[in-house]
Structure 1
Amino acid sequence: MKNLLVVVVLLVPFLLFNPISSSSSADEQFSVDGKVLELDESNFESAISRFDFILVDFYAPWCGHCKSLSPELDAAAPVLATLREPIVIAKVNADKFTRLAQKYDIDGYPTLKIFSHGVPVDYYGPRKAELLVRYLKKLVAPDFSVLDSDSAINNFVEAAGNYFPIYIGFGLDQSMIEKLAVKYKKKAWFSVAKDFSEDAMVLYDFDKVPALVSLNPSYNERSTFYGPFEEEFLEDFVKQNLIPLVTPINLETLKILKDDARKVVLTIVEDDEEEKAKELVKLLKAAASANRDLVFGYVGVKQWADFAETFGSTSKLPKMVVWSGREEYFSVIDSERIAGEDQATQISRFLQGYKEGRITEEKVRGRSMLAIINSLINIRTVYALVFVVAIVMLIQSINKDDSDHERVPNQVDNAGSSISEAAYSVYKPEDKED
Structure 2
Amino acid sequence: MKRVSAWWCICTVAVLFQFSGGAQAEQWAVDGKVLELDDSNFESAISAFDYILVDFYAPWCGHCKRLSPQLDLAAPALAALKEPIVIAKVNADKFTRLASKYDVDAYPTLKLFMHGVPMDYSGPRKADLLVRYLKKFVAPGVSILDSDSAIKNFVEAAGTYFPIYIGFGVNESVVSNSAIKYKKKAWFSVAKDFSEDVMVKYDFDKVPALVVIHPSYNEQSIFYGPFEDEFLEDFIKQNLFPLALPITYDTLKSLGDDERKIVLTIVEDEDDEKSKKLIKILKSAASANHDLVFGYVGVKQWDDFADTFGANKKTKLPKMVVWNRNEDYLTVIGSESIEEEDQASQISRFLEGYREGRTIQTRIGGSSVLGFINSLIGFKLIYIIVFLVAVMMIIRTIKGDDESLGDRADQSSRLVTDGESREQRSGEKED
Partner of 1:212: 210
Partner of 2:126: 128
Deviation at 1:328, TM superposition (A): 0.8
Q: 1:127 to 1:324 in 2, by over 3 A?
A: same
Name the CA distance, whole Å, in 1 between partners of 2:265 and 2:219: 20
Residue of structure 2 aligned with 1:154, choices 152, 173, 180: 152
* 8 Å contact from structure 2 (residues 304, 366) kept in 1: no
1:125-164: CA deviation from partner (whole Å, max 9, x where unpaired): 1110011111111121111111122222122112211111
1:311 aligns with 2:309: yes
Give the CA RMSD over aligned residues: 1.9
Q: Secondary structure at the match of 1:339?
A: coil
* 8 Å contact from structure 1 (residues 258, 325) kept in 2: no
Name the CA distance, whole Å, in 2 between partners of 1:363 and 1:46: 46
1:42 aligns with 2:40: yes
Residue of structure 1 aligned with 2:262, choices 261, 264, 271: 264
Q: 1:128 to 1:227 in 2, by over 3 A?
A: same
* 8 Å contact from structure 2 (residues 270, 297) kept in 1: yes
Q: 1:27 to 1:150 in 2, by over 3 A?
A: closer
Percent identity among equivalent residues? 73
Name the CA distance, whole Å, in 2 between partners of 1:150 and 1:259: 35
Q: Secondary structure at the match of 1:302?
A: coil
Note the residue ranges of structure 2 that are not aligned, 5 or more in a row: 1-22, 384-431
Deviation at 1:377, TM superposition (A): 7.7
1:68 aligns with 2:66: yes
- Superposition pairs of residues 174-253 of structure 1, within 5 angstroms: 174-253=172-251
- Superposition pairs of residues 98-117 of structure 1, within 5 angstroms: 98-117=96-115
Q: Secondary structure at the match of 1:96?
A: coil
Partner of 1:365: 365
Amino acid at match of 1:157: V
Partner of 1:8: none
Q: Secondary structure at the match of 1:65?
A: helix
* 8 Å contact from structure 1 (residues 165, 188) kept in 2: yes
Name the CA distance, whole Å, in 2 between partners of 1:373 and 1:63: 26
Amino acid at match of 1:137: K
* 8 Å contact from structure 1 (residues 27, 43) kept in 2: no
Partner of 1:166: 164
Deviation at 1:168, TM superposition (A): 0.6
Name the CA distance, whole Å, in 1 between partners of 2:364 and 2:76: 46
* TM-score, structure 1 normalization: 0.78
Note the residue ranges of structure 1 that are not aligned, 5 or more in a row: 1-25, 382-434
Q: 1:55 to 1:147 in 2, by over 3 A?
A: same
Name the CA distance, whole Å, in 2 between partners of 1:165 and 1:369: 30
Name the CA distance, whole Å, in 2 between partners of 1:348 and 1:341: 13
Deviation at 1:98, TM superposition (A): 2.0
Deviation at 1:366, TM superposition (A): 4.3
Name the CA distance, whole Å, in 2 between partners of 1:329 and 1:63: 37
Residue of structure 2 aligned with 1:88, choices 86, 89, 104: 86
Partner of 1:352: 352
Name the CA distance, whole Å, in 2 between partners of 1:150 and 1:183: 27
Name the CA distance, whole Å, in 1 between partners of 2:64 and 2:190: 40
Deviation at 1:117, TM superposition (A): 1.2
1:138-194: CA deviation from partner (whole Å, max 9, x where unpaired): 121111111122222122112211111110111111111111111111211111111
- Superposition pairs of residues 14-25 of structure 1, within 5 angstroms: none
Deviation at 1:102, TM superposition (A): 2.1
1:83-127: CA deviation from partner (whole Å, max 9, x where unpaired): 222111011122222222222222322221111111112212111
* 8 Å contact from structure 2 (residues 246, 295) kept in 1: yes
Amino acid at match of 1:340: E
Which structure is larger by alpha-carbon Rg, 1 or 2? 2
Name the CA distance, whole Å, in 2 between partners of 1:91 and 1:259: 28
Name the CA distance, whole Å, in 1 between partners of 2:304 and 2:86: 37
Name the CA distance, whole Å, in 2 between partners of 1:147 and 1:291: 32
Q: 1:377 to 1:113 in 2, by over 3 A?
A: closer
1:53-85: CA deviation from partner (whole Å, max 9, x where unpaired): 100111222322222211111111111112222
Name the CA distance, whole Å, in 2 between partners of 1:325 and 1:90: 34
Amino acid at match of 1:156: F
Name the CA distance, whole Å, in 1 between partners of 2:131 and 2:319: 40
Name the CA distance, whole Å, in 2 between partners of 1:200 and 1:370: 48
* 8 Å contact from structure 2 (residues 311, 319) kept in 1: no
Name the CA distance, whole Å, in 2 between partners of 1:181 and 1:48: 25
Deviation at 1:373, TM superposition (A): 7.5
Runs of 4+ deviating beyond 6 Å: 373-378
Residue of structure 2 aligned with 1:274, choices 272, 275, 285: 272
Name the CA distance, whole Å, in 2 between partners of 1:190 and 1:110: 31
Name the CA distance, whole Å, in 2 between partners of 1:339 and 1:176: 46
Name the CA distance, whole Å, in 2 between partners of 1:35 and 1:99: 25
Name the CA distance, whole Å, in 2 between partners of 1:313 and 1:53: 43
